[in-house]
Each structure stands twice: as C-alpha cells, then as structure tokens.
Amino acid sequence: MSETARLIGLDWGSSSLRATLISAQGHVLSSRQSAQGASTLAGGPAAFCAALDALIADWMTAHPALPMLACGMVGSQHGWREAPYVPCPCDPAALAAQMVAVEIGSGRRLLIVPGLVYQPEGLPPDVMRGEETQLIGALDPDLAEACMILPGTHAKWVALRESGVHGFATQMSGELFALLRQHSVLGRLMPTEAGLPDRAGFAEGVRAARDHGELGLAHQLFAVRTLGLLQRLPASGLADYLSGLLIGHELRAGLAWRARAGLAAAPLVLVGEPALCQRYEWALQDFDQALDAALGNTAAAGLWRLALAAGLV
C-alpha cells in the first residue's frame, strides 16, 4: 500500500454496508462488505456502532484520526440519524453543508450525507438517498449536461446540468420485478432457480412494451402468465420476458421524461451494477438510443468528492 489512507467511506444502504478505505488521490485502497444494512439493524445507535466495529474495527484502530463519511439509508428516518433531504437543483457544496454527525465513541464522529428531494411543479415530490453520492461520483467536468440512469430496486433517471443535479424521477421497476416474481401468479410457472439470462425472452418483453405499451403495464404483465400457460415461451424465459417488459416500460416513460427535461440530445449514462446495466443497454438498443457511457459503482468516488467539498480531507 504505497498511498496513504485519507478517508473511510461507507455506502450504507437498506440491505448492505460497504466500507472503503480511500487514498489522498481518491483511490480505493481496500473495500469490505457486510449484510448489516440499515433496515436490518434494530436497537438504535448501539446496533449501528456494533455493525461498524464488526466490519472495520481494525481500520478504525489503525487510523484513529481518519474522517468517516457515510451515505445511504443510514441517514433515513429509520436509520442511525435522519439527515435532511436537500432540494434540487443541488451541487456537492449544498450536500456538504447539510451533513449530520453521529458520535461513534472515543470522541470520534461519523458524518452522514443528506438525501435529495425534487419537487416538480404540480407533481408529487420525489426523493433519493444514496444515489446522490453515486451521482456526485459520476460527475464529469467534460459533461455540461447529461441524463443519468441508475438502475436498481428504485431506479433513478436524473437530469444533470452545470455539475449539479437538476431533477430526477424514480421508477420502481426493480421492486416490481422482485414482487411479481416472488409473490404473484406470474412467478408460478417460472423455474425456482434463476438460470442464465434468456436474451430472446428479454428482447420480446422489451419490444412488447415498446410497440404496444399503450395497452398498459398491468395488462401486458398478464402475458407472462398466458405465454407460459399456452407454451408460447419456455418457462426458462418467463422471468426475462417480465424483466424486459418492466425495463421497456421504464424506457418509454424515462425517455419521454428526458425529452421533456430538454435533454433529448444530451449524453445518456448508465451507473450501477454491470449485469443490470447490461440489460438496460440491450433495451436501449431496441429503442434506438445510443449509450454514451456505463459506469460501475461510483459511491466511493462520490464520498471522496463530498469529503473534499465538506473540507474533511
């Protein structure tokens, strides 16, 4: 390890805790992960402190003066301490100004990044928590504006302008997929074990949404059952057809949202887990949309930039 550690960064979501040791150049020197997400921890501050100790007690001992910064659901109402939602448009300085602190013993504290709220005129508000840090990590000085897509349980479509988050829209496609697969009539004909992705089944779902989406998602979903029941699709392809339908409907709505945000010609950038981004890339091709970049997890880079903006490093 030739570079010196300068920051302990925590990407602390609902279902997992990922810790990174970050160098003065903003590089990830080391990272670790546990399943002690914020929603798994009952018992208040002590439970959160114990989860930190279980994962990185040695880092904290070896680097007693290193600043610590966390993002994600750790800052929610049911997290360690609630951090506010900062309104859009918003840049790193605005996020840095509203961090909240918790004591973690021995006089040390952990700062928590706030979330974002977007209140479009005449529409319900939208919120994010955790993704704001990934977005800051994905900012590129060469991109004056861009439309970013962060796939996931609650996917985010984001309008970036002048190095800040201008607005965003959540799409619950990921949660709908999990719900429908596990708990609905649509999952009954699917094999229990997920196999390799069935790209043909996925493409058929995407194209059904693209070509006939006006029939409604709640109607088109039922085809997952009928195509299986009448053996028009193999059981092994039904989950991918469902995934394609949901992502296809997300693209219909998301690309229209992007156009209304005035970003129809702006670069389109995917940020997130590669296998999931790959599905979006396939679906975007079926919608004749060029993708400008696909980035992996940018949370550590975002935590570093926010630590800089807050004067922590």
Which residues of this protein are in contact with a second copy, per CB under 8 A?
77, 117, 123-127, 154, 169-173, 175-176, 179-180, 182-185, 208, 212, 214-223, 225-227, 229-230, 232, 246, 249-250, 252-254, 256-257
* 18 vs 154, beta carbon nearer a second copy: 154
Residue 183 beta carbon to a second copy: minimum distance, rounded to whole angstroms = 5
* 57 vs 229, beta carbon nearer a second copy: 229
* 171 vs 298, beta carbon nearer a second copy: 171
Residue 58 beta carbon to a second copy: minimum distance, rounded to whole angstroms = 35
Residue 243 beta carbon to a second copy: minimum distance, rounded to whole angstroms = 13
* 67 vs 201, beta carbon nearer a second copy: 201
292 CB-near residues (< 8 Å, 6+ apart):
146, 267, 268, 269
* 102 vs 208, beta carbon nearer a second copy: 208
* Phi-psi category of residue 234: left, alpha or beta, with phi > 0 → left and psi -120 to 50 → alpha: beta
Residue 1 beta carbon to a second copy: minimum distance, rounded to whole angstroms = 40
* 20 vs 171, beta carbon nearer a second copy: 171
* 19 vs 180, beta carbon nearer a second copy: 180
The tokens describing 189, both together, are 């004909």
Encoded amino acid at 267, one letter: P
Residue 127 beta carbon to a second copy: minimum distance, rounded to whole angstroms = 5
78 and 39 Cβ atoms separated by less than 8 Å: yes
Residue 299 beta carbon to a second copy: minimum distance, rounded to whole angstroms = 21
Residue 82 beta carbon to a second copy: minimum distance, rounded to whole angstroms = 11
